[in-house]
């Protein structure tokens, strides 16, 4: 695969254009655009590596600005209206921002059809629109740990080794609709579930939002249900609320009490965050009513209030 323009190797002139030109461009950029951070970064990365890093960031941001400004292919807009109903309820400025994110996402992520699935624009655009809902109103690097999205026609099976107790493990095949991991660099999705997720916006289930919430969780290099938060007080508040809500869901799961949140979230804190994200966007009014503190934490993190545009019709558990 060709190296992206401005990558570190290219900046070190092993490939590409004459070295004197590239060095000039790098020096010019790093002194003008990042005058404050340059000395610290130069010390941290070593001079030449920093130049490569800075140039890479500069061109990446410029390329993304250009992608966001491109006109959207006409067919994409009708795919979104047809398959992702929440889009038409968003405020116009959010729709514009989301469409820009979709352009960047589709330009940067690889999609592969698996199990005989032929990839189409409908598949790519439907998945990208849902994924990019989680990016609205925030600085984002577009799920930087994710490179490839593998799409199967429907559920798939994986070899699973599960710890039972002590030295006892069980092995077998397990059915899945989606999967991603901190060090996988990929995500696997079942197309039928990815497509049906947003069509009933009040069932509280959305495979794509679930799996991409995991990717947000990974951005701080851990899979612990704590995404990259802002201030120390944000982290303290998040920890207190999530600990309480997670314990409540576990207790409800053990006693069989019906819950708004899918009890799969009782598996561990990472799954709890993913399940809570599904509920936040799919059943926001019910979540705000029944779990106001959880709703507030998610509203602050996602910088969105989905209760404003939710299509929930009536209270239900
Ligand atoms: Zn999960």
Model pLDDT for residues 22-32, shown as the tens digit of each residue: 322 222 223 33
| Domain co-membership, 138 together with 102 | yes
Q: Quick one: average pLDDT of 33-61?
A: 60
The CA 44 to ligand 1 mean position distance, Å, reads 36
The CA 102 to ligand 1 mean position distance, Å, reads 23
The CA 14 to ligand 1 mean position distance, Å, reads 41
Q: Would 34 be classed as within a structural domain?
A: yes
| Domain co-membership, 181 together with 258 | yes
- Residue that terminates a domain, selected from 69, 89, 106: 69
Q: What percent of the chain has pLDDT over 90?
A: 63
| Domain co-membership, 191 together with 58 | no
On average, the pLDDT of the chain sits at 83
Q: Would 315 be classed as within a structural domain?
A: no
The CA 273 to ligand 1 mean position distance, Å, reads 9
| Domain co-membership, 131 together with 185 | yes
| Domain co-membership, 113 together with 251 | yes
The CA 209 to ligand 1 mean position distance, Å, reads 10
| Domain co-membership, 50 together with 91 | no
CATH of residue 289's domain is 3.40.390.10
Number of domains comprising the chain = 2
Q: Would 317 be classed as within a structural domain?
A: no
| Domain co-membership, 12 together with 104 | no
| Domain co-membership, 20 together with 53 | yes
| Domain co-membership, 204 together with 301 | yes
Instruction: Considering only residues 172 and 145, tell me which one the structure prediction assigns the higher pLDDT.
Output: 145
The CA 152 to ligand 1 mean position distance, Å, reads 17
The CA 214 to ligand 1 mean position distance, Å, reads 7
- Of the pLDDT bands very low, low, confident and very high (cuts 50, 70, 90), residue 173 is confident
Q: Taking the mean position of all CA atoms in its chain, how far away is CA 173? A: 27
The CA 206 to ligand 1 mean position distance, Å, reads 11
Q: Would 316 be classed as within a structural domain?
A: no
The CA 279 to ligand 1 mean position distance, Å, reads 13
Q: Would 43 be classed as within a structural domain?
A: yes
Q: Would 55 be classed as within a structural domain?
A: yes
| Domain co-membership, 220 together with 101 | yes
The CA 182 to ligand 1 mean position distance, Å, reads 12
pTM score: 0.80
- Of the pLDDT bands very low, low, confident and very high (cuts 50, 70, 90), residue 171 is confident
The CA 302 to ligand 1 mean position distance, Å, reads 18
The CA 95 to ligand 1 mean position distance, Å, reads 27
pLDDT exceeds cutoff 80 at 315: no
Q: Quick one: average pLDDT of 209-236?
A: 92
Q: What are the pLDDT digits (tens) for 118-140? A: 999 999 999 999 999 999 999 99
| Domain co-membership, 129 together with 261 | yes
The CA 51 to ligand 1 mean position distance, Å, reads 38
Q: What are the pLDDT digits (tens) for 59-115? A: 899 999 999 999 999 899 999 999 999 999 999 999 999 999 999 999 999 999 999
- Residue that terminates a domain, selected from 69, 92, 118: 69
Domain range spanning residue 15? Answer: 8-69
- Residue that terminates a domain, selected from 49, 69, 89: 69
| Domain co-membership, 14 together with 139 | no
């Amino acid at each position: 695969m060709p190296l992206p323009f401005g990558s570190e190797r290219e900046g070190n002139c092993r490939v590409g254009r004459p070295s004197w030109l590239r060095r000039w461009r790098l020096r010019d950029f790093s002194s003008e655009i990042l005058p404050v951070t340059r000395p610290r970064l130069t010390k941290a990365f070593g001079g030449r590596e920093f130049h490569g890093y800075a140039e890479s960031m500069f061109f990446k941001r410029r390329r993304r600005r250009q992608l966001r400004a491109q006109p959207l292919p006409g067919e994409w807009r009708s795919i979104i209206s047809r398959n992702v109903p929440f889009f038409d309820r968003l405020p116009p400025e959010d729709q514009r921002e989301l469409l820009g994110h979709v352009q960047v996402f589709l330009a940067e992520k690889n999609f592969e059809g698996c199990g005989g699935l032929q990839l189409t624009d409908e598949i790519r655009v439907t998945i990208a629109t849902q994924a990019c809902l989680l990016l609205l109103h925030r600085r984002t690097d577009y799920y930087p740990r994710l490179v490839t999205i593998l799409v199967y026609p429907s559920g798939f099976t994986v070899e699973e080794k599960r710890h039972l107790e002590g030295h006892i493990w069980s092995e077998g095949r397990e059915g899945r609709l989606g999967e991603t991991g901190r060090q996988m660099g990929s995500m696997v999705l079942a197309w039928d579930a990815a497509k049906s997720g947003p069509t009933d916006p009040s069932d509280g289930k959305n495979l794509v939002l679930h799996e991409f919430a995991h990717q947000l969780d990974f951005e701080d290099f851990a899979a612990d249900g704590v995404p990259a938060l802002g201030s120390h007080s944000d982290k303290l508040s998040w920890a207190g609320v999530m600990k309480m809500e997670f314990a409540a869901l576990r207790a409800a799961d053990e006693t069989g009490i019906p819950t708004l949140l899918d009890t799969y979230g009782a598996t561990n804190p990472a799954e709890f965050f993913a399940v809570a994200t599904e509920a936040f966007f799919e059943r926001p009014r019910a979540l705000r009513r029944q779990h106001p503190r959880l709703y507030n934490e998610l509203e602050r993190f996602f910088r969105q209030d989905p209760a404003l545009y939710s299509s929930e019709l009536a209270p239900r558990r």
